[in-house]
Amino acid sequence: MATFLYKLGRLAFRRRGLMTLLWVLVFAGVGYAASVATTPPADTFSMPGTESQKAFDLLQKKFPAAGAEGASARVVIRAPQGQKISGPEVRHKVETLVGDLKKAPGVIGAADPYQAKSVSKDDTTAYTVVTYKDAAPKLADKEHDGLDAALDKGRSSGLTVEAGGDAVKIEVSAGSGEQIGILVSAIVLLLTFGSLIAAGMPLLTALFGVGIGISAITALGSTLGLSSTTSTLAMMIGLAVGIDYALFIISRYRSEIAEGRERAEAAGRAVGTAGSAVVFAGLTVIIALAGLAVVNIPMLTKMGMAAAGTVAIAVLIALTFVPALLGWAPIRVLRRIERKQHKGKPLSARQQRKAAKLAARTKPNLASRWAGYVLRHPVAVLLFGVVGLGALAVPAASLQLGLPGEGTMAPSTTQRKAYDILSESFGPGFNGPLMITVSGKDAKTAATTLRTDLTQQTGVDSVSPASPNEANDTAILNVVPKTGPTDGKTEDLVHALRGLASGEEGKTGATEILVTGQTAMFIDFSKTLDDALLPYLGLVVGLAFLLLMLVFRSVLVPLKAALGFLLSVSASLGAVVAIFQWGWLKEAFNVEQPGPIMSTMPIFMIGVVFGLAMDYEVFLVSRMREAYAHGAGPHEAVVTGFRYGGRVVSAAAIIMASVFSGFILDDNSLVKMIGFALATAVLFDAFVVRMAIIPALFALLGRSAWWLPRWLGAVLPNVDVEGEKLGKHLTSARAASTERREHEYVG
């Protein structure tokens, strides 16, 4: 592989005009396809194989009118202190508010709370459901402003008015966190390379690749059913790996130039060696993202596949477009002093002092000195790293998963205020009702019988009368629990009702009884993710283990890589639980509402961090393997790997952590949580696992770290990531060239 990539790198460098033109044409073509593509479909959420999804599909079939996609808002109204909601004066104000809501833009109806009997028992609170013609994603500012104006008018009359539902606009502040992260990345790249051109290339190529990936997702949206949110993960991962891969190639090119290589030769060797690491690092990321398909949730599968495609584009850009850009500025990617030295120009006295410092720095730099320290004290470093991450991972044992809802929003939002008022006046279970579907020849009679038994069930607050469809083959019962939607007792109630269903089917004459509703769907979603987590980990880690074994031709190296990854992820999860679930340091991170961790966060974090962790592992250890394959001892190979790869891996980790940390400044608690989890996981993995625990294990294992059974070595193909075959190929090519010139001279 290294030989093929070497030739590809030289070709891209020498034919830089053609290669640049090809990528520009690809960018323009995909961009044009995206601009003329039809509007992508709205987000759809489904969980094949779950009871709640089965019941939901039944409702869409049997109650088509109830399946209207129009948005809705539940407006909660509370009377002034000491007054009743049914009092004449207050009632007039409420009816005026309902009238204003009916006249608001896009509204097709608003229920009268007095006729709909949606008044609390203490006669202090009422609510009305406002329905819209269009779905929530299609509502424009006109509709949102009309609703807000009606609510404000009701408040000015002395009523307490709050609203929840998908028709209510979610306020999102225009945060600058992402921009700060990119700015930090640019600064780190500039400090790492000491050249504006070299610092700008990784950012340019990463944005270029993300642009192609997002445009392709948009262009294929209607064909493959990719919603607009599918690109979220692709954008995050594409930017991360795009910067990393370009950073690796450019860094190796500069090293080859420093060793006196000719420019095209340096580009070829950079792609042949560092490019091999990029290919296999990219494959591990693709495996992790494509592995989301095992969760069996179509939305996650599409997001994973779209992100995997963006990573593949990032790999291709690193192997072809980056060396082409190096061809346009082969010397300007070096530091100013190095550029002058390369051109043979005289240096000033100050530049000579700087050059002397740079030369001294190349002998034992900070990374190689750190590697030497770890090699001298491997046990202490190993214990400190493992015990420290283990202590941080302890809170992860108390991890509670859930899905976001209005009850988890900030207390200052109108959605959260409406949620709290309804809980106080109608009971905590009112915000999370369950829906039971009853199928049978006489569904109404069966549902009525079932209702009698359900009212006696522990944990049930109330059960609505049966509502059959026109054919009377399906009926609906709405069950209000005594506990809130995120309460563990509500989950127990869902399981109890489902267990009760089999016995009730024979008693009531129903053919099938199913439990669904938003609360039940959230419970099923969390359980689906819980059940898929171990298979997902097994698939991703197992396939990556085989891939890394192929790369490093070792059994212990990929095993250490996988175990180290699990340790860093566990520590990050522990930190997330401590801050976002327990509320530790919540003021420092502006966490307004500690609560359950979002169900999708752990599996997303595993996919993202696993890919980045293997990036660092492959790039750092491949340098060690390269030195070891060329005759260096085990300890010398570790120092060599850190000397050439430590600074680059550190820069890549700081860049990624800064990009992810930008999301911590977001007002959205879920975005904040994901940003914190990814940033801490990257820092733990890069600086504790890859830079401390892994070299300590290499020091303790010595040559056995590279052990591979002979029979396995004979079976595994040699992909030559370290460039051993490439070196032999170049040596033989030079020898043949010299012999040919001598023959021509003698002739």
Phi, psi angles (nearest 5°) of residue 376: -80, -25
Are the beta carbons of 649 and 663 closer than 8 angstroms?
A: no
pLDDT band at 363 (very low <50, low <70, confident <90, very high): low
The helix or strand, by DSSP H or E, that contains position 243, with its residue range, turns out to be: helix 231-258
Q: Looking at 194-229, list the stretches that DSSP marks H as alpha helix, in order from N- to C-terminal side.
A: 196-219, 221-224
Beta strands in 427-551 (DSSP E): 434-439, 460-463, 467-468, 474-481, 512-516
The helix or strand, by DSSP H or E, that contains position 164, with its residue range, turns out to be: strand 160-164
Residue 745: predicted pLDDT: 45
Residue 149: predicted pLDDT: 95
Of 448, 461, 428, 258, nearest in space to 359 by CA: 258
Nearest-5° Cα angle at 596, 613 to 415: 120
Judged against a pLDDT cut of 50, whether residue 746 lies above it is answered with no
Residue 231: predicted pLDDT: 78
Mean pLDDT is highest, among 47-56, 178-187, 311-320, for 311-320
Residue 524: partners with Cβ closer than 8 Å, 6 or more residues away:
47, 50, 51, 52, 53
Are the beta carbons of 12 and 271 closer than 8 angstroms?
A: yes
Nearest-5° Cα angle at 366, 270 to 242: 40
Are the beta carbons of 141 and 171 closer than 8 angstroms?
A: no
User: Please, how many CA atoms are within 13 Å of residue 154, restricted to the half-sphere of its CB?
Assistant: 30
Of 699, 705, 702, nearest in space to 376 by CA: 699
Judged against a pLDDT cut of 80, whether residue 176 lies above it is answered with no
Give the tens place of pLDDT for each residue, 18-56: 999 999 999 999 999 999 887 766 656 678 888 998 998
Give the tens place of pLDDT for each residue, 456-467: 899 999 999 999
Mean pLDDT, residues 190-209 taken together: 89
Residue 352: predicted pLDDT: 54
Of 173, 128, 161, 166, nearest in space to 144 by CA: 166
pLDDT band at 410 (very low <50, low <70, confident <90, very high): confident
Judged against a pLDDT cut of 70, whether residue 354 lies above it is answered with no
User: Please, how many CA atoms are within 13 Å of residue 20, restricted to the half-sphere of its CB?
Assistant: 13
Least confident of 29-43, 374-388, 534-548, 724-738: 724-738
User: How many CB atoms sit inside 10 A of residue 26's CB?
Assistant: 18
Mean pLDDT, residues 585-592 taken together: 83
User: How many CB atoms sit inside 10 A of residue 607's CB?
Assistant: 25
Distance CA 369, CA 364 (A): 6
Give, in order, the Cα–Cα distances in Å from 241 to each of 204, 426, 698. 13, 50, 26
Of 188, 196, 305, nearest in space to 244 by CA: 188
Say how many Å lie between the first and final Cα of the chain, rounded. Answer: 37
Strand, coil or helix: what is 546? helix
Are the beta carbons of 296 and 2 closer than 8 angstroms?
A: no
Are the beta carbons of 189 and 655 closer than 8 angstroms?
A: yes
Give the tens place of pLDDT for each residue, 260-303: 889 999 999 999 988 988 898 888 888 888 888 888 888 888 88
Distance CA 126, CA 124 (A): 7
**Predicted TM-score of the model (pTM):** 0.81
Q: What secondary structure letter does DSSP report for 348?
A: P
Judged against a pLDDT cut of 70, whether residue 174 lies above it is answered with no
Distance CA 508, CA 435 (A): 18
Residue 154: predicted pLDDT: 95
Residue 5: predicted pLDDT: 92
Mean pLDDT is highest, among 611-615, 635-639, 740-744, for 635-639
Phi/psi region, residue 345 (left: phi>0; alpha: psi -120 to 50; beta: rest), is beta
Least confident of 148-157, 312-321, 468-477, 719-728: 719-728
Q: Looking at 291-438, list the stretches that DSSP marks H as alpha helix, in order from N- to C-terminal side.
A: 298-316, 322-328, 336-343, 349-361, 366-376, 378-393, 414-426
Distance CA 665, CA 663 (A): 5
Residue 117: predicted pLDDT: 87
Mean pLDDT, residues 430-442 taken together: 92
Higher model confidence: residue 530 or residue 577? 577
Give the tens place of pLDDT for each residue, 626-680: 888 778 888 999 999 998 888 888 988 888 888 788 778 776 666 788 889 989 9
